[in-house]
Amino acid sequence: MMPGIGLVWLALLAAPEQGPSVEDGMLPAGAVGLSAAAGARGLGGARPGADLDLTLAIGINDRLQINVLLPALVLRLGTPGATEILIGAGDWGLTYQDPPGLSYKQGAALGVRTWYGRALALALTSDAGGTIGVLVASSPTFEFSGAAGVTWAATDAVSVHVALQVNRLPYEPSGNLWISLGSAQRWGFRRVPLIAWRARPNLSVDLYAAATWPDPLTGSLTAQAMVGVTFWPADLK
């Protein structure tokens, strides 16, 4: 599979008056959405690198969605705006660090999210997969992660999402384990922004920031930061 980043069309911008809207979950059949972000990871450490997130998604129906730019697939069960379950498989997490160079992750993800009222949600997620080098012959490194996050729709235009994630390399001799706090959770395979601002009816500006300790490459406290945009069809609301 080609390197990919996401499965799910998601901006987490539910307005308190309206409750969760279409950009919070799956796209309707035939609808296309785009999300892109770029920045850096490993900031403050000895080996900083580029961090990317890109999703071009299309809704097959109200339960199934694909990433048509790069291979990825997600299935939704449950009820949007109440409790829903996402099951995904594909590629995600394109990053660059020197070494090992450009790499991505390939595997599966599971998430459960429950809305409490119209402006507050709790999400529990996990994913497992291998890190694969691009144009580099290397053995995949298996990684498991689990996260818990809270989403708060502060206003009609601004939402905040904070998550705590635990990562582990179960097959490494040292059993490496590290934690991240901030925009550290993925819903499906797409990273959820720390702050999302709805600048237009169908456009949001997204800020991603997280702290990681100990960094799996350097063993120190490092930070990640990205800025991006999310676009969805305005007439779907």
List the Cα angle 52/98/2 in 5-degree steps.
45
In contact, 105 and 95? CB cutoff 8 Å: no
Distance (Å, rounded) from C-alpha 107 to C-alpha 73?
Answer: 11
CA distances to 94, 192, 232 from 187, rounded to whole Å, are 16, 7, 17
pLDDT means per 10 residues, the chain with 237 residues, are 34 34 61 88 85 84 82 89 91 70 84 90 92 70 91 91 90 74 87 92 92 83 94 64
pLDDT number for residue 75: 93
Domain boundaries, the chain: 22-229
pLDDT number for residue 168: 86
Distance (Å, rounded) from C-alpha 57 to C-alpha 23?
Answer: 12
pLDDT number for residue 95: 72
Distance (Å, rounded) from C-alpha 40 to C-alpha 55?
Answer: 18
100-113: pLDDT as tens digits: 677 778 889 999 99
22-229 under CATH 2.40.160, yes or no:
yes
pLDDT number for residue 201: 82
